[in-house]
Structure 1
Amino acid sequence: MLERKLRKDRTEVTFVLPGDEPPGPVSVVGDFNDWKPGTHTLTPRADGSRAVTVKLSAKQVHSFRYLAAGDYWFDDAHADAHDGINGRLHT
């Protein structure tokens, strides 16, 4: 799931996943962090989910995916669109 907060010149996007699916550490990787795993690792929230917030420039389109333990790549069904294997996010 994606949560968004619009700010004056940026959009804060929170990437949210269940707390245990998939198991182990998960990071969101995309063009906004040069596709570097571990840069934006999801952390537990009080409601049992896990999340990470990324500040992105407004009025842009970004590609992203999730990377879990064991080199398991997966997409977000709530992405604005998909471009091949990548999710697309419009800020």
Structure 2
Amino acid sequence: MLERKKLKGRTQVTFVLPEDTPAGPVSVVGDFNHWDPYAHPLTPRGDGTRTATVALSANSSHAFRYLAAGDYWFNDPAADHHDGANSHLRT
């Protein structure tokens, strides 16, 4: 799931996954962090989910995926669209 909050000239995007699905550590990786799996690890929050938040330029489009333990890559079904390989979001 994606949560968006408009800021002055930017959009704050929070990537949200259930705390235990998939099990183990998960990061969000994309063109906004040069596909760096260490840049945005998801961290638990009190409501049973885990999240990572990034601030992106307004009116932009970005490709991203999640990377879980065991080199397991997966897309976000709530993304704005998919191109077969990646999830995409528009700010």
Judge same fold: TM > 0.5, yes or no. Answer: yes
Unaligned runs of 5+ in 1: none
Match of 2:42 in 1: 42
Task: Report the Cα distance in structure 2 between the residues aligned to 1:4 and 1:31, rounded to whole angstroms.
Answer: 18
Q: Within 2, Cα distance between the matches of 1:30 and 1:39? A: 10
Q: Distance in 1 between matches of 2:45 and 2:39?
A: 18
Q: Displacement, 1:11?
A: 0.3
Q: Distance in 2 between matches of 1:8 and 1:79?
A: 23
Aligned to 2:7: 7
Alignment of 1:12-27 (within 5 A): 12-27=12-27
Q: State the Cα deviation string for residues 47-67 of structure 1 (Å, max 9, x = none).
A: 011001111010000000000
- TM-score (normalizing by structure 1): 0.98
For residue 47 of structure 2, give the secondary structure of its aligned residue in structure 1. coil
Q: Provide the rounded CA distance (Å) in 1 between the counterparts of 2:24 and 2:38.
A: 13
Pairwise CA RMSD: 0.5
Letter in 2 for 1:82: H
Code of the aligned partner of 2:29: V
The amino acid of 2:44's aligned partner reads P
Contiguous gaps of at least 5 residues in structure 2: none
Cα shift at 1:84: 2.0
Structure 1 residue runs of 4+, over 2 Å off? none
Deviation at 1:80?
Answer: 0.2
